[in-house]
A and B are shown apart, each in its own frame.
Chain A
Amino acid sequence: MIYTWLAFGAFVNAYVGVLCLIFVLMKSQKTEVLKKFGIFCFFMTLWALGYFFPIVSENETLSFLSFRLLHLGAIFIAVAHLDFIIHFLRIQQKYKWVVKWGYIFNIIITLLVPTKWFIESMSYKCDFAYWANVGMAYHIWLAVWLCFIIFSVILLLKHYNLERGIKRKQIGFVLLGDIITFTFGSTNFFLFYDIEIIPYFNVFSSGQMLIFAYAIARYRFGNIELNFLNFLQKTISFILAFISLYLVYFYLNLFFIIPKSVATDIVFLLVSLMFYHFFEMLAQTRYFSQLFRLSDYDNFHRTVKVFNKKHGFTGDLKKLENKIKKTFIRELNFKKAELIILDEKFKKKYPEIIGYFKKIKKGDPLIYSELELTDQDSKKNTVCCLTEMKNLGEACFPIYDAHKNLIACFILGEKPFKNPYYIEEIKILKDVCHYLSLSLAVINYYKNLAKEVKEKTKQINEKNKQLKNSYKELQKMDKVKDEFLSIASHELRTPLTVIKGYTDFLLQEDFGKINKKQSGFLGKILISTNSLLDLINKMLDISYIESGKMKFSLEEINLVPYLKHIKNEFGILYKEKNIKLTIKNIQKLNSKIFVDSEKLHIIFANLLGNSYKFTSEKGKVCIEINEHSKKFIKISIIDNGIGIPREQQKYVFKKFQQVENSLQKQYAGTGLGLNITKQIIEKFGGKIWIENLEEEKAGIIFSFTLPLQLDKKSSNKKIK
């Protein structure tokens, strides 16, 4: 029994030692403290493995060898422990020499291990078939060894009183581990001095390493991976299950004789599994899992995942801030959770932090408790951030935009139970920062958009105002122009009317006879006055048409009677020159047109007036009506006058254009009539053009189209 128990203890110690060693080797960031811890674990493992053999061995030579082997580890444990402690307490500079001389001394002792001075011989002791009898060197080594241990403990106690915060807690754990280990571990030495105390509690030697490891995990040295924590939890469950199984076996053995068979082994295996699961479940209960914070991590992982994915992006900064508060403070129990957009005020207050993040650009956060624990050597970059972080919060995550510019900081307070931030959590929080970066980009986009819209709206409003003012101004000017035009034409017409009136009276000889010459002169005055009046009227018409002021009242007109009326009206004038005015095709058509009769009169007056003017005496003028399309009718005015040369025909509808022809100089005219005609026809929706007669025939054809009255519905429409 005693063999099994001690072998089990040795196994557990070795197992934990290897575990801790692996942990140290796997760490990406190996600090000096961790390295020293690793060395300590190595010697512990060596010692534990050595122990395993002398206990199980019943051969003298093998036992002898094993005792030498275990001491190879044991010799260095104390000095490795001191080395670890001085690095842990950051006092390595001061006590480096102690460790140095300690190692030199231990190496000398190691050299003495194979000699008789260290282990003299093997003999039966207590329950053991072979146990070592030690020599002089052993006594000296043990004395020095104990001094190292006591010195380490004194240093720890001293610093426990000096330090505050997390460091104090860490020291507390290390101290606890030391006391447990060395109190129980020292039971090893009694047998060497023939005191019959069996090292039953050797198994607790690994407790120190476990407690150290736990301290590392809980109040981390550097960063900590969750899987290690998980592993640690399972290991402890496993050890507890084994101890329980042993106790059950031990007590059952007191009362029964347990037969050695395969069935018993299976039963014990099942019972051990049951114990294992029981302790694992126990570890996962709320109370125990708080020791490891594993369930806490699960909850964190789940909640943050929801935060990142389910809510989607918001364009509102307030909403985002509320969301952060809700997730991290209310759901995850962080003391503080804030999104800080970097403004000048923040930059001024925390220049070191900004500087640090601008330099690293990896998204790694600054964590206060981490900073506090960092070795002096690696502190160069971050030591200045310490005071700033103290004011800011427990953790500060940088948020960069797409161009790697630092735009904001995500601040978190202490975690519940002041737990450390695990690497996995930091990874997830980095993802949160990516999400926040995108959210901020969206918010910024909306903000810029709103700003742009606001600016553009302002610009448009201003332009509108300007346009309105300009429009008002133009309206005013237009009105002034109209008034001026009508008044000016009134003022021009009135004296001309007077001249016309008196001349007419004189010509009528109501006030005495005049001679032929006088009559001729007066006739010329009358003609000039009339042409001047005509010019004034036409200019006024043009200005009205062009400014859109001429109003058109469209009405249905029966073409046939209207043309007959026109023929009668102009027939009187035409008779003066003996020109024959005829209408062709009038019988065939019974069309109704849709025009403004007054304006239509202007068209006929201009066109028939032109024909009259350019047709010599006894000439012929014909108004011909033809179908043109479903919607229009074509009217042509054909004369056999002087005609218009082809190359000049394109100019006739332009303002102030009279055909340049020496012959035509004799014809008075303003050059406005055809332009007015064209504009009016176009307002009706029709068009006017010139057609030429067959060659060698004198004269010209003016053709134009007028809209037919199609249905009653459109009869009310007005043209502006």
Chain B
Amino acid sequence: MINKKIVIVEDNSSLNELYTMGFSNAGFEVVSCLDGEKVESVIFKLKPQIILLDIMMPKIDGLEVLKRVKANKSLDCIVVVASNLLNDSIMKEALHLGAIDFLNKSDYTPTEMVKKVSSYLEK
């Protein structure tokens, strides 16, 4: 498992730190963003296999980011949405837009989250 790259989009700085630590410890090359604004350029630069995307964020929300990422065909990556906003319609829309899963952040510790996300890479 060499050169696993992930972009973490999470506006909560503590969670951002936790996930960054978790994925770094697991050997991922991590770039984290605190909002959705620069995600596209970051992805373009890093070319990650996977993105961990929050929904409720300032400026641009997660669904919009997801839309843009999926609209840009040069950015080919798996998007895992992880949010504490458990809303049926948002969940459905996210899955419809192309997210591989919609995870409840509070269900997972960072370690568990790394495991879960890694499982998508293995598939």
Contact = CB atoms under 8 A, between A and B. Distances in A.
B15 A501 contact: yes
A497 B86 contact: no
B86 A540 contact: yes
Interface residues of A, number: 24
Given A486-B85, A508-B111, A500 B106 contact: yes
Interface string A452-488: 0000000000000000000000000000000000110
B88 A496 contact: no
A494 B13 CA distance: 11
B18 A505 contact: yes
Contact of B109 (A489, A500, A544): A500
A502 B85 CA distance: 21
Interface string A357-381: 0000000000000000000000000
A551 B86 CA distance: 13
Contacts of B15: 494, 497-498, 501
B105 interface: yes
Contacts of A537: 86, 104, 106
B105 A493 contact: yes
Interface string B104-118: 111101110000000
Interface string A529-551: 00001001100100010000111
Interface in A485-516: 486-487, 489-490, 493-494, 496-498, 500-502, 504-505, 508, 510
Contact of A549 (B12, B14, B88, B109): B88
Interface core residue of B14, B22, B109 (most chain A CB under 10 Å): B109
B84 A494 contact: yes
Contact of B84 (A489, A501, A504, A549): A489
B85 A501 contact: no
B110 A505 contact: yes
B56 interface: yes
B21 interface: yes
A551 B88 contact: yes
A706 to B, nearest CB: 22
B3 interface: no
Contacts of A533: 106-107
A493 B109 contact: no
Interface in B65-123: 83-88, 104-107, 109-111
A177 B79 CA distance: 128
Nearest to A551: B88
Contact of B14 (A498, A536, A551): A498
A537 B87 CA distance: 12
A487 B88 CA distance: 13
Nearest to B14: A498
Given A494-B105, A497-B15, A505-B18, A486 B110 contact: no
B24 to A, nearest CB: 11
Contact of A501 (B18, B25, B83, B87): B18
B88 A497 contact: no
A501 B109 contact: yes
27 contacts: A486-B85, A486-B86, A489-B85, A489-B86, A490-B83, A490-B84, A493-B104, A494-B105, A496-B106, A497-B15, A498-B12, A498-B15, A498-B18, A500-B106, A500-B109, A501-B22, A501-B110, A502-B18, A504-B109, A505-B18, A505-B110, A505-B111, A533-B107, A537-B86, A544-B88, A550-B88, A551-B88
Minimum-distance CB pairs A-B, first 7: A493-B84, A504-B109, A501-B18, A493-B106, A498-B14, A490-B85, A490-B84
